[in-house]
Amino acid sequence: MPKLNENYLNVQDSYLFAEIARRVKAYEEQYPDKAEDVIRLGIGDVTRPLTKTAAASLHEAVDMQTSQETFRGYGPEQGYGFVREAVAEYYRRNGITVDAEEVFISDGAKSDTGNITELFAKDNVILVPDPVYPVYVDTNTMDGKHIIYMNGTEDNDFLPMPDDSVKADIIYLCSPNNPTGACYNKEQLQAWVDYALKNEAVILFDSAYEAFISEPGLPRSIYAVEGAEKCAVEFCSLSKTAGFTGTRFSYTVVPKELVFTVSNGRQMSLRDMWNRRQSTKFNGTPYIIQYAAAAVLSGEGMKECMENISYYMKNARMIAETLRRKGISFTGGVNSPYIWFKCPKGMESWEFFDYLLQNAQIVGTPGAGFGVNGKNHFRLTSLGTHEKTKEAMERFEKLF
Ligand code: MLT
């Protein structure tokens, strides 16, 4: 009989967004006449179609794949040089130096943040903010790793800071944060980098929402902070930036300087390990997608993406204004597509989820799904259409 990985007993029966989808489906089956009215502001999925640049380059790449002269089969597992260079150039435009050889192309920040756990031994202490994107907790739990939490609450504006009395080996940070939308400033990120360097820890930095930062001076990458290249890996994606949730493209930066001494005094490079892992377990992102991603990452391509982001941020303002009028306290919606607020009427988040679905046919995300500190909070996404967001806010306003 096979011995199963019993760590799976320690994760929730289903992934947060799968559970939400299950509950919404059950509601729609029970009340078919209401199914059409359901407005989905739960999972952070985009609604704007692909940009002109993305579409044109996808068509072009398909044509290349159908011609004998330009057809390509297997590509480099880490991504084609041209797209790794396009990522490095994107960083350069934001004032950050990253070597193309440190850039690894993949199909999603979700996969990479999950898969990277394999590079770290079981007995590391993992420090995770609470609330936070559930993938970090789920994947480390599946691995049987010891997780400790740092509280993100109203008292620290949902931005936990390092505590010298806590010793961690691996630290997850997500800024702008999913789900709270809170964003670290440079001094705060510097404090984390200083902590990591002092404690010989590694920061796994999720910057999937960097393109939504609108306040000047806020860092869009951990590498905007001195010393980060010696202690941090960064994950980023085109999912929200370019509407690639269904198209799939992400990149992870593993700096060459991340070299650690292991048993027998041997040196191991995290970049080489990641390269080794990916070349065995991953056959690369489709050529067509990489080709389109390179075009999207160009100055012109990104201009179109920013127009879509402005569209979504208009929704964010609409949601924020509704909450403000109702006197409901919230964070986010300025540097992030997420708005995180206290559940009205003292409700707990799953209770509020049901209440909102049943009484206004609005789907949101219960804060409890992001950690215990989310028990009384709720997340709405601004990635819907203007029409649906407006309609949802009118219903919300009527309900409270
Ligand atoms: C979210 O809605 O928090 C995520 O973007 C969905 C996911 O990637 O799992």
- pLDDT tens for residues 149-169? 999 999 999 999 999 999 999
Rounded-to-integer distance, Cα 160 and Cα 125, Å: 17
Does residue 178 have its Cβ closer than 6 Å to ligand 1? yes
Tell how far the Cα of 44 is from the centroid of ligand 1, in angstroms: 5
pLDDT at 13: 86
Q: Identify the burial level of 28 via C-beta atoms within 10 angstroms of its C-beta, where 0-12 means exposed, 13-18 middle and 19 or more buried.
A: middle
Tell how far the Cα of 363 is from the centroid of ligand 1, in angstroms: 14
Residue to substitute in 133, 212, 238, 383 for testing ligand 1 pocket (most ligand atoms within 8 angstroms of CB): 133
Tell how far the Cα of 284 is from the centroid of ligand 1, in angstroms: 22
Nearest in space to 270 (alpha carbons), one of 85, 124, 118, 82: 118
pLDDT at 192: 98
Does residue 220 have its Cβ closer than 6 Å to ligand 1? no
Q: Give the mean pLDDT of 80-105.
A: 98
In DSSP terms, 241 is beta-bridged to: none
Does residue 44 have its Cβ closer than 6 Å to ligand 1? yes
> Tens digits of per-residue pLDDT, 57-90?
999 999 999 999 999 999 999 999 999 999 999 9
Indicate the SS3 state at residue 72: coil
> Tens digits of per-residue pLDDT, 342-353?
999 999 999 999
pLDDT at 334: 97
What's the pLDDT band for 281 if we cut at 50, 70, 90?
A: very high
Q: Distances from the Cα of 274 to the Cαs of 73, 119, 172, 203, 399, in angstroms?
A: 23, 7, 17, 15, 50
> Tens digits of per-residue pLDDT, 116-141?
999 999 999 999 999 999 999 999 99
Does residue 117 have its Cβ closer than 6 Å to ligand 1? no
Dihedral angle computed from the Cα positions of residues 216, 218, 219 and 224, in that order, rounded to the nearest 10 degrees: 80
pLDDT at 316: 98
Model confidence at 186: pLDDT above 90: yes
Tell how far the Cα of 316 is from the centroid of ligand 1, in angstroms: 17
Rounded-to-integer distance, Cα 100 and Cα 89, Å: 9
> Tens digits of per-residue pLDDT, 318-338?
999 999 999 999 999 999 999
pLDDT at 139: 97
Q: Give the mean pLDDT of 18-39.
A: 96
Q: Give the mean pLDDT of 7-15.
A: 93
> Tens digits of per-residue pLDDT, 246-277?
999 999 999 999 999 999 999 999 999 999 99
Distance of CA 353 to the CA centre of its chain: 22
Ligand 1 atom, smallest distance to 109 CA? 8
What's the pLDDT band for 383 if we cut at 50, 70, 90?
A: very high
pLDDT at 292: 98
Tell how far the Cα of 43 is from the centroid of ligand 1, in angstroms: 6
Nearest in space to 44 (alpha carbons), one of 263, 370, 299: 370
Backbone angles phi, psi at 7, to 5 degrees: -60, -25
Tell how far the Cα of 261 is from the centroid of ligand 1, in angstroms: 35
Nearest in space to 112 (alpha carbons), one of 224, 274, 323: 274
Tell how far the Cα of 333 is from the centroid of ligand 1, in angstroms: 16
> Tens digits of per-residue pLDDT, 219-240?
999 999 999 999 999 999 999 9
For the entire predicted model, the pTM comes to 0.97
pLDDT at 364: 98
Does residue 15 have its Cβ closer than 6 Å to ligand 1? no
Mean pLDDT score across all residues of the chain: 97
Q: Would you say 110 and 208 are in contact if contact means Cβ atoms under 8 Å apart?
A: no
Rounded-to-integer distance, Cα 268 and Cα 44, Å: 37
Backbone angles phi, psi at 233, to 5 degrees: -105, 140
Is residue 22 within a helix (H) or strand (E), and if so which, with residue range?
Answer: helix 16-30
